[in-house]
Structure 1
Amino acid sequence: MEILPAIDLKDGQAVRLTKGLMESAKIYSDAPWELARAFEEMGSAWVHLVDLNGAFAGEPKNLEQIKQIRKHCNLKLELGGGIRDLDTVKRYVDLGIERIILGSIALKKPAFVEEASKVATVAVGIDAIDGFVAVEGWAEKSTMLATDLARRFANVGVEAIICTDVGRDGTLGGVNVPFTLEIARASGVDTIASGGVKDMGDIEALLKSNEVAGVIVGKAFYEGTLDLRKAFEYVRAQNPKVSSK
């Protein structure tokens, strides 16, 4: 199981939201690339990036910061937020982004996910409110069950599914393990948990399930409720095959 530290970008700064609300943004850094360097030093193999402005605008909005992060670290980067066409996918691939995250577009145009998977390594982001898929930067709730959408991407070349319980995201209320397992079982695709991670108890619970491929850690790091360095060490001790620096 991989731990993927998160950097959410808003107006060029690293922020965290509570339950996906833009007005709740708390700024943690004016130089997001420095965070990426810090994660690398701690032993991370990945960084999870989200262009929050892009998620609402439907097009890249924090490109300069993304370029700086790519320039200043050797980590694998996965990126989502505002990716709506193949030109944007290819642009990010050319920039050196290892995995492209497709969210709202996956619900609206699932065939696009298959197209994108032919030119990039793709993860589908399934964000849920009360079990239903949230779209447009979590501003809207669809009528599609998250598990039904997960089934749609069982055999189309998607590398991973990132599932977020929006109601827990940024709350430090604990990760929704049952929801994560439902998505993993519905899709049969490597599933990465997101939303609500607080401390080592969450890391241990996900690892114990033996069905979760990764977990995204955001506010727990920024607010100091989880020691990331110790979390990396713990996971690697339990699973020596996990990626390491």
Structure 2
Amino acid sequence: MILYPAIDLKDGNAVRLVHGDMDQTTVFNDDPAAQAKAFVAAGCEWLHLVDLNGAFAGEPVNAAPVEAILAACPVPAQLGGGIRDMATIERWLDKGLARVILGTVAVEDPDLVRAAAKAFPGQVAVGLDARNGRVATRGWAEETDIMVTDLARSFEDAGIAAIIYTDILRDGAMKGPNVDATADLARAVDIPVIASGGVSSMADLTALQATGVISGAISGRALYDGAIDLAAALETLKG
């Protein structure tokens, strides 16, 4: 199972939110590239980046820090937030991003997801963010009546690289991930599923790995707070 350190970007800083609330922000580093380099130095194989402003604006806002991270770090990075058209997808991949994460458009324009996955094999992931099992969009501000599992299954034949599943009520709250819901989703589809939201201890990571069906986990606040030692966690997950 791959551990993805998360760098959430707001106003050029590396931050964490609680429950996706832009008004509940903690700034952890005003130099996101330096933070990314620290994660790489600890041994991470991937980076998970989120343009929080972009998720609300519907277009990239924190391009400068993302580009700085890509220039500074040799490991692949995936990015979500405000990526809602083919031109933006192409632009980010051209800049060296390994994978784009499409969230809102997965609900509003699923044909774009399919076209992008076909045009860029292995480089398009879908971000499914849920509150009580229902998909939320536009920076989690809008809740739909669409069930996560139903939407995931609709992309089964699209060729997407991964699904990033976030339980919004767990995100940034240090209460542990929704292991059962994430594992149920992973069993429901053949697409690799990455857990996000609430991963706050080594026990959380081992519980996710023990399911045998979850391909990755994203953690942010716990790494910044020191609740998870990244180097030690990476070593444990390898073993």
Is 1:232 matched with 2:230?
A: no
Task: Quote the offset at 1:39 in angstroms.
Answer: 0.8
User: Residues 1-245 of structure 1 correspond to what in structure 2 (within 5 A)?
Assistant: 1-120=1-120, 121-237=123-239
Gaps of 5+ in 1: 238-245
Query: Could you tell me how far apart the structure 2 residues matched to 1:119 and 1:52 are?
Result: 26
Return the TM-score normalized by structure 2: 0.98
1:64-89 Cα offsets, whole Å, 9 max, x none, are 11110011110110000000100000
Return 78-87 or 183-192, whichever deviates more. Answer: 183-192
**Alignment RMSD:** 0.7
Asked whether the 8 Å contact 2:118–2:158 carries over to 1, the reply is: no
Kindly report structure 1 stretches of 4+ aligned residues shifted beyond 4 Å.
none
Task: Quote the offset at 1:116 in angstroms.
Answer: 0.9
Task: Quote the offset at 1:224 in angstroms.
Answer: 1.3
Query: Could you tell me how far apart the structure 2 residues matched to 1:129 and 1:199 are?
Result: 22
Query: Could you tell me how far apart the structure 1 residues matched to 2:106 and 2:63 are?
Result: 22
Q: Tell me the secondary structure at the aligned position of residue 114 of structure 1.
A: helix
User: Aligned AA for 2:119?
Assistant: V
Query: Could you tell me how far apart the structure 1 residues matched to 2:188 and 2:15 are?
Result: 32
User: Aligned AA for 2:3?
Assistant: I
Task: Quote the offset at 1:222 in angstroms.
Answer: 1.0
The number of aligned residues is 237
Return the TM-score normalized by structure 1: 0.95
Q: Tell me the secondary structure at the aligned position of residue 119 of structure 2.
A: coil
Query: Could you tell me how far apart the structure 2 residues matched to 1:50 and 1:56 are?
Result: 12
Query: Could you tell me how far apart the structure 2 residues matched to 1:201 and 1:228 are?
Result: 13
Query: Could you tell me how far apart the structure 2 residues matched to 1:187 and 1:58 are?
Result: 28
Query: Could you tell me how far apart the structure 2 residues matched to 1:230 and 1:208 are?
Result: 17
Gaps of 5+ in 2: none
